[in-house]
Amino acid sequence: MMEGGNSCIFKHIDEVVPERLSGPNTMFTNVVGIDVGQQQDNTVVSWCKYYPGTYPKLEVVETLWLQDKYDIQCDKIKTWIYEKGLECARIGVEVNGVGRPIYDFLCKKDVSETNPIIHVAPFTCNARNKKGLINLLQGFDYNKCLYFTDKKAQDAINGLTESYDNNGKWTADHSDALSSLIVCASRLGY
């Protein structure tokens, strides 16, 4: 028989981005994760920089938080992606519920676009891949390789807990910011 309990998901959330990662010759891949909120939830778009290497690093650069109607969100998300220069980034959209129309909108190629968004993939979340991707993010955190430049995202993630009941069933606190980071993690290629 297992004994249940809970603990913080992330323990080193206050790590500062090392200066060596801000150099002009630093290699990284831009990754965008979009978790589309339902009813009272926010839609959160997270932009991360993934630094490959022996100890890969992940920096949460910026997040966009939306509560508009979905048709308005589509335009705002696309505009934000272009303003940040992320049209060539690996972009993931959670499509479990209401995210499918936003995914379809971002995939739509207009002949008049000179620089279309090209790397958009759907992500369907379930309990198994959610746990696996949170474990991946915890690995970055454990190695002190998860950084938050975006204070709002950091505050939204700080203090989230995971728990196991006496039967070993795992659950984690819900957070729109964490959900968008899970989508980012799905696009890292692990």
What domains can be seen in the chain, in order of their start residue? 5-16+25-186 (3.30.420.240)
Going by C-alpha positions, the residue among 91, 77, 84, 3 that lies closest to residue 37 is: 77
Q: What is the pTM of this model?
A: 0.90
Q: Are 170 and 131 within 8 A, CB to CB? A: yes
Q: pLDDT, tens digit, for every residue of 75-129?
A: 999 999 999 999 999 999 999 888 999 999 998 877 666 777 889 999 999 888 8
Instruction: Tell me what the pLDDT averaged over the chain comes to.
Output: 89
pLDDT at 177 over 90: yes
Question: Which residues 6+ apart lie within 8 Å of 36 measured at CB?
Answer: 43, 70, 73, 93, 94, 97, 98, 99, 102
